[in-house]
Amino acid sequence: MTRAKDISKILTDANIGGTLDVSGAFTSQGIDDNADAVAITIDSSEDVTLSGNLSTGVNKFIDIRDADGHVSGRLRNVSGSNNALTIEADPDNSASSTFMSFKIDTSERMRIDSSGNLGLGATSVDTDIHIEKSSDIAIKLERTNSGVSTISVPSSGFLNILNTSNAGLTLGTNNTERMRIDSSGKVGIGTTTPSSFGSITSDLVVGTTSGEHGMTIASGTGNSGRLQFADNTSSPFRGAIEYAHSSDALFFYTSGTQRMAIQSNGRVNIGVGNSTDTGFRFFSPSGQSSKVAEFAKNDGTGCHLPVGSTAFTASSDETLKENITEFNKQTSYDDIKKMRAVTFNYKDWTLNGINYKDDKKRIGFIAQDWVTNYPEIIDKDQNDKLCMKYTETIPVLLSALQKAQEKIEAMEARITTLEGA
């Protein structure tokens, strides 16, 4: 062990002014710096203290130099700052691609490269923050007494963002919330209260109750976009709404089968989708042998079109009716003499910006001839124009015909009597 007098001789020869006390502590008033105050203290616990008055504006630092004399690192207390400390790598900028490494048990745990990128477990840092690990990775955000949130990558490779407390998750832009997943898992885009929109329709809510909002499904020009309804994964869907961009047609599915199509020319097909004719068509579903279409109340009264029929049938069972009163045949006979049976064609008209022209000769009645005595068969459209239920004129015509038949039979009886006289 080096003796005290030997250490004293070394200090003297090195021109170091200081004392070595009996406890083993060493203090210096400067090492070849002509200092007049204590600058370095090494105490009996081998702790090193740098001392100085910061108010003088002089930074105090320790340099670590390499074999060429370049400063590899520096520990500095900052002038003018209260209790501030900086740790610097390559402070004289003598090298390129410098980095600062932090190790535990000889293994590097953190690195800051010359661009300011931070690596945790990563030695090749190529982003602002780079975390690398061979096992699960997680970042934990904890606010005391307010819950914990984590961002993690488990062995599955998924990116997990998890709030472990009974609270939601929000995303925003321009300092404004844009999307929210609330504590029950409901997703709101443009709304902060997705759970307020009904128990079975609040899983995803887009927009608010003010202004216009929407959602777009974009597909290729030869592909389709689809909204599906499913109750299992073995059969992908039970119901669906699909738009086929290749044909510009809209399809509707139930029970996994296409049931209705709106073609690009406006043609509506119910029961089958493979038709491009204009107009509206009903097709009997597979296995349906009685009705193609039905228009009825929930009690079953109304009309329907049987398969293969050219006319609708209407509910007419006497047990379904009340307040039954027969027409006065003489009145009907007198009334129809005032009714005009005409041929005509409709005037040109415009609908949704499209001009239509009717060149077809038609037959029918004039609604104004019927409205006074038979208002039951007259309706009005959205433009307050009169419309007729043509089939309901049949009872009036039949009543008048029965009266005419009575007159014919009476006249035949008189002729028979006169001829026999």
Q: Are the C-beta atoms of 234 and 241 separated by less than 8 Å?
A: no
> What are the backbone dihedrals phi and psi of residue 418, each rounded to the nearest 5 degrees, phi first?
-65, -40
* pLDDT of the residue at 316: 87
Percentage with pLDDT > 70 across the chain: 80
- Region 272-285 average pLDDT: 57
Of 19 and 129, the one with more pLDDT: 129
> Which among 87-101, 119-133, 274-288 has the top mean pLDDT?
119-133
Give yes or no for residue 31 having a pLDDT over 80: no
* pLDDT of the residue at 388: 94
* pLDDT of the residue at 414: 93
Q: Provide the b/e sequence for 103-126 (b: ≥16 CB within 10 Å).
A: eeeeeeeebbbeeebbbbebeebe
> What are the backbone dihedrals phi and psi of residue 378, each rounded to the nearest 5 degrees, phi first?
-115, 135
- Cα–Cα distance between 21 and 11 in angstroms, integer? 13
- Cα–Cα distance between 368 and 193 in angstroms, integer? 56
Identify the band that residue 293 occupies on the pLDDT scale cut at 50, 70 and 90.
confident
> Which among 4-8, 27-31, 66-70, 378-382 has the top mean pLDDT?
378-382
Q: Are the C-beta atoms of 396 and 329 separated by less than 8 Å?
A: no
Beta bridge mates, 24: none
Identify the band that residue 389 occupies on the pLDDT scale cut at 50, 70 and 90.
very high
The pair of structure tokens assigned to 46 is 């081998």
The torsion angle over the Cα atoms of residues 197, 199, 201 and 204, rounded to 10 degrees, is 80
- Region 319-340 average pLDDT: 94
> Lowest-pLDDT range, 168-172, 180-184, 277-281, 415-419?
277-281
- Cα–Cα distance between 93 and 414 in angstroms, integer? 135
Q: How far is CA 401 from the centre of its chain?
A: 66
- Cα–Cα distance between 156 and 154 in angstroms, integer? 5
> Lowest-pLDDT range, 119-133, 201-215, 253-267, 274-288?
274-288
Q: What does the DSSP 8-state code read for residue 335? A: H
Give yes or no for residue 254 having a pLDDT over 70: yes
Beta bridge mates, 87: 75
Residue type, 127: T
Give yes or no for residue 27 having a pLDDT over 70: no
Residue type, 35: A
- Cα–Cα distance between 21 and 312 in angstroms, integer? 121
* pLDDT of the residue at 367: 96
- Region 295-310 average pLDDT: 75
